[in-house]
C-alpha cells in the first residue's frame, strides 16, 4: 500500500474523529455543567430514577461520597456478574470455575475485558446479561467520574455532583450512541441474532456487543479471535469505522472540559493526547508486522486498528500479538504505561490532567513560583495525590511480575524465561493494570494463580487511581479562584509539547529497563 494512501487514511480517520468529538463534546459538557431545569433530554432521562431514588438522586456529593457510591454500584454489578456466571449450568451452559468467574466479572466491570476463556464457555444469555450489560456499566462509571473531575476544576463548590445522576445520564448517552453504531455495523455485515450459526460457528448478538465494546473502550470480543474475526470485523470499511468508534469518546471528553474551562485549555490537552497517539502509531507502523496478520485486512489496516486500540485503552485486536514486531509491541506497552494518549473514555482525560499537575509542579520549581492552574494554587497535597496516581500503575505491574517469576508460575506456563516469555508476562500485567485487556496468553492463563492475580491487579488498577483522582477533584472544588495570570500558561502548543514531553519522560524513566529486558531483546 503506497505511503501516501496510508497517510491519507490516518489523516481522514483523525479528522472525522475530531469533528465528531467536537460535536459530541457539547452534550457531554452539558452533563458536567448541569443545573436545573437543564436540557429537556436530560430531564427526560432523569424522570424515572428521580422518582425511584428521590432526594438521593439530586443531592450534591463530596468526593468521598461520590467514590463510595461509584464503588457500591460497581461492587453490586461485580457480585451479580459472578453469581450469573456460577449459575450458568442452570441456564444450559458449561460450568465456570469460581476463579475464572471472578476474573471475568472483575475484568468486565473494570473496563478491562481481559479474556482467559475462549470458544463456547459463555452462553448467549451470559454474553448479554454479563458481558454486554457490564460493557455499559464500566465506561459509564468512567465518564461519570470524569464529569465530577471537570466540575472540581471548573467551579468552586462543596460538592462535585451526584454519581447516580451522572451514571444514569452517561449510560443513556452511551446507549443512544451504541444503538446507532450497532445498526451501522449490521449494515457492514456484523451479525445480530439470538440463535443459529454458520457451520460450527455460533451466531449471537455480535453487533450490539461489538458496538459498545469499541465505543466504550471495552475490548472484549464475542469470539476468541476478537476483531480479527470476520464476524466482528468483516472488511476494511468496518475496520476503519471501528477505529473511529474507539477514538470518539476519548477525544470528546477533553473538548467538553474546554467548553467549561476555556476551549484553549481543552484544545491543548487534546493536542498533547493526539501528539502522543501520533508518535506511538508511527512507531508501530515503522516496526511493521510479521507473519500471522489477518490477510483480509493487510498489515497496515491491522497495525492501525491495533495501535488505535492500545492508544485508547480498548484492547481489542485485529490480529494476534505474536504477529506484531517488537517495536510495535513496545509502542503498545508505552500507550498502556501512559494511559492518556488519549486513553479510555473518562479515565484518559483524568490521567492527562494528573500529568498536567506534575508538569506545572516541575515548571513551577524551574521558574521559582508556586504552581497554579486556572487561578488555583497547587498545594503539596495535590502534588502528592498526583504523584501517587502515577506511581500506583508501575507498582501494580512490577510487583505481580516479580511474583509470577519468583513463584515459578511464569515458568510453569511458558517454559524457561527469555525475552519473549518476559514480554508476555510484562504485557499481561501491564494490560491488566491499565484496564486494557489485550493479552498474549488468552485462555492459556486460565488457572487459579493467573485468574486471581490479574483480577486483583484489574480491580486495584481501576479503583485506586479513580479514588485518588476524585480526591484531587474534591481538593480543587473547595479552592478560591483568582483572575491573575498563570505563572505557567496552560494553553497553547508550547505547553502541549511540555506536557507530552513530561509524560513520556516519566514513563520512559519508570519502565525503560523492562522494555530492554522484554521487547527490545526479542529480535
**What is the tens place of the pLDDT at every residue in 297-353?**
889 999 999 999 999 999 999 998 999 999 999 999 999 999 999 999 999 999 999
**What is the tens place of the pLDDT at every residue in 448-471?**
999 999 999 999 999 999 999 999
**What is the tens place of the pLDDT at every residue in 14-31?**
999 999 999 999 999 999
Strand 201-202 and strand 376-377: pairing?
Answer: unpaired
**What is the tens place of the pLDDT at every residue in 121-165?**
888 888 899 999 999 999 999 999 999 999 999 988 999 999 999
271 vs 481: CA distance, rounded Å: 26
166 vs 57: CA distance, rounded Å: 9
407 vs 326: CA distance, rounded Å: 27
Question: In 26-104, where do the E strands start and end?
Answer: none
- Got the DSSP string for 149-190? HHHHHHS--S----HHHHHHHHHHHHHHHHHHHHHHHHHTT-
**What is the tens place of the pLDDT at every residue in 164-214?**
999 999 999 999 999 999 999 999 999 998 776 676 677 889 999 999 999
303 vs 243: CA distance, rounded Å: 11
Helix (H, G, I), strand (E, B) or coil at 369: coil
Going by pLDDT thresholds of 50, 70 and 90, the confidence category of residue 1 is: low
Going by pLDDT thresholds of 50, 70 and 90, the confidence category of residue 36 is: low
CA dihedral 482, 486, 487, 491 (to 10 degrees): 160
Question: What is the pLDDT, as a whole number, of residue 183?
Answer: 97
The structure's pTM equals 0.95
Three cell numbers, residue 119: 470458544
Q: Which residues contact 425 (CB under 8 A, 6 or more apart)?
A: 401, 404, 405, 410, 414
**What is the tens place of the pLDDT at every residue in 421-450?**
999 999 999 999 999 999 999 999 999 999
Q: What is the mean pLDDT of the chain?
A: 93
Contact assessment for residue 50 and residue 56, using Cβ atoms and an 8 Å cutoff = no
Three cell numbers, residue 388: 501517587
Helix (H), strand (E) at residue 197? strand 197-198
Beta bridge partners of 289: 324
Question: What is the pLDDT, as a whole number, of residue 119?
Answer: 64
Handedness of CA 54, 60, 65, 66 (dihedral sign): positive
Find out whether the peptide bond into 379 is cis, omega within 30 degrees of 0: no
Question: What is the pLDDT, as a whole number, of residue 53?
Answer: 84
CB atoms within 10 A of CB 93: 17
Going by pLDDT thresholds of 50, 70 and 90, the confidence category of residue 291 is: confident
Residues in the chain: 523
Find out whether the peptide bond into 478 is cis, omega within 30 degrees of 0: no
40 vs 42: CA distance, rounded Å: 5
Q: How far apart are the first and last CA of the chain?
A: 25
369 vs 485: CA distance, rounded Å: 12
Amino acid at each position: 500500500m503506497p505511503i501516501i494512501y496510508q497517510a491519507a487514511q490516518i489523516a481522514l480517520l483523525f479528522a472525522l474523529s475530531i469533528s465528531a468529538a467536537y460535536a459530541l463534546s457539547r452534550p457531554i459538557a452539558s452533563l458536567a455543567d448541569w443545573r436545573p431545569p437543564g436540557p429537556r433530554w436530560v430531564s427526560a432521562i432523569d424522570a424515572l430514577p428521580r422518582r425511584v431514588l428521590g432526594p438521593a438522586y439530586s443531592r450534591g456529593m463530596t468526593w468521598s461520597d461520590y467514590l463510595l457510591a461509584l464503588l457500591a454500584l460497581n461492587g453490586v454489578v461485580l457480585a451479580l456478574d459472578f453469581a450469573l456466571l456460577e449459575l450458568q449450568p442452570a441456564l444450559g451452559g458449561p460450568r465456570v470455575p469460581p476463579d475464572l468467574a471472578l476474573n471475568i466479572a472483575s475484568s468486565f466491570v473494570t473496563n478491562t475485558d481481559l479474556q482467559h476463556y475462549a470458544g463456547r464457555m459463555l452462553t448467549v444469555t451470559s454474553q448479554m446479561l454479563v458481558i454486554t450489560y457490564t460493557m455499559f456499566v464500566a465506561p459509564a462509571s468512567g465518564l461519570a467520574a470524569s464529569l465530577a473531575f471537570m466540575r472540581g476544576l471548573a467551579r468552586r463548590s462543596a460538592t462535585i455532583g451526584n454519581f447516580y445522576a451522572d451514571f444514569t445520564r452517561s449510560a443513556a448517552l452511551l446507549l443512544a450512541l451504541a444503538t446507532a453504531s450497532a445498526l451501522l455495523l449490521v449494515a457492514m455485515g456484523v451479525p445480530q441474532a439470538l440463535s443459529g450459526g454458520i457451520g460450527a460457528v455460533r451466531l449471537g448478538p455480535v453487533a450490539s456487543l461489538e458496538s459498545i465494546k469499541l465505543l466504550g473502550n471495552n475490548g472484549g470480543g464475542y469470539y476468541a479471535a476478537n476483531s480479527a474475526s470476520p464476524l466482528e470485523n468483516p472488511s476494511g470499511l468496518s475496520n476503519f469505522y471501528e477505529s473511529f468508534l474507539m477514538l470518539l469518546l476519548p477525544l470528546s471528553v477533553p473538548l467538553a472540559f474546554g467548553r467549561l474551562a476555556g476551549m484553549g485549555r481543552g484544545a491543548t490537552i487534546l493536542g498533547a493526547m493526539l501528539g502522543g497517539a501520533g508518535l506511538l502509531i508511527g512507531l508501530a507502523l515503522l516496526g511493521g508486522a510479521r507473519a500471522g496478520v489477518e490477510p483480509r485486512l493487510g498489515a497496515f489496516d491491522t497495525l492501525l486498528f491495533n495501535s488505535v486500540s492500545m492508544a485508547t485503552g480498548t484492547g481489542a485486536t485485529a490480529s494476534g500479538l505474536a504477529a506484531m514486531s517488537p517495536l510495535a509491541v513496545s509502542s503498545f506497552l508505552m500507550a498502556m504505561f501512559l494511559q492518556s494518549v488519549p486513553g479510555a473514555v473518562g479515565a484518559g482525560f483524568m490521567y492527562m490532567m494528573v500529568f498536567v499537575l506534575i508538569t506545572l509542579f516541575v515548571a513551577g520549581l524551574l521558574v521559582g513560583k508556586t504552581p497554579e492552574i486556572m487561578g488555583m494554587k497547587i498545594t503539596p497535597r495535590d502534588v502528592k495525590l498526583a504523584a501517587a496516581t502515577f506511581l500506583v500503575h508501575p507498582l501494580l505491574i512490577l510487583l505481580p511480575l516479580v511474583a509470577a517469576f519468583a513463584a515459578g508460575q511464569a515458568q510453569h506456563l511458558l517454559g524457561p524465561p527469555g525475552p519473549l516469555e518476559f514480554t508476555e508476562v510484562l504485557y499481561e500485567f501491564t494490560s491488566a493494570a491499565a484496564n486494557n485487556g489485550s493479552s498474549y496468553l488468552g485462555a492459556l492463563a486460565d488457572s487459579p494463580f493467573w485468574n486471581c492475580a490479574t483480577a486483583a491487579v484489574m480491580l486495584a488498577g481501576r479503583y485506586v487511581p479513580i479514588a485518588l483522582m476524585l480526591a484531587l477533584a474534591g481538593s480543587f472544588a473547595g479552592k478560591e479562584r483568582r483572575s491573575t495570570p498563570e505563572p505557567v500558561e496552560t494553553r497553547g502548543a508550547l505547553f502541549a509539547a511540555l506536557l507530552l514531553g513530561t509524560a513520556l519522560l516519566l514513563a520512559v524513566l519508570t519502565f525503560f529497563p523492562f522494555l530492554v529486558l522484554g521487547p527490545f531483546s526479542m529480535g
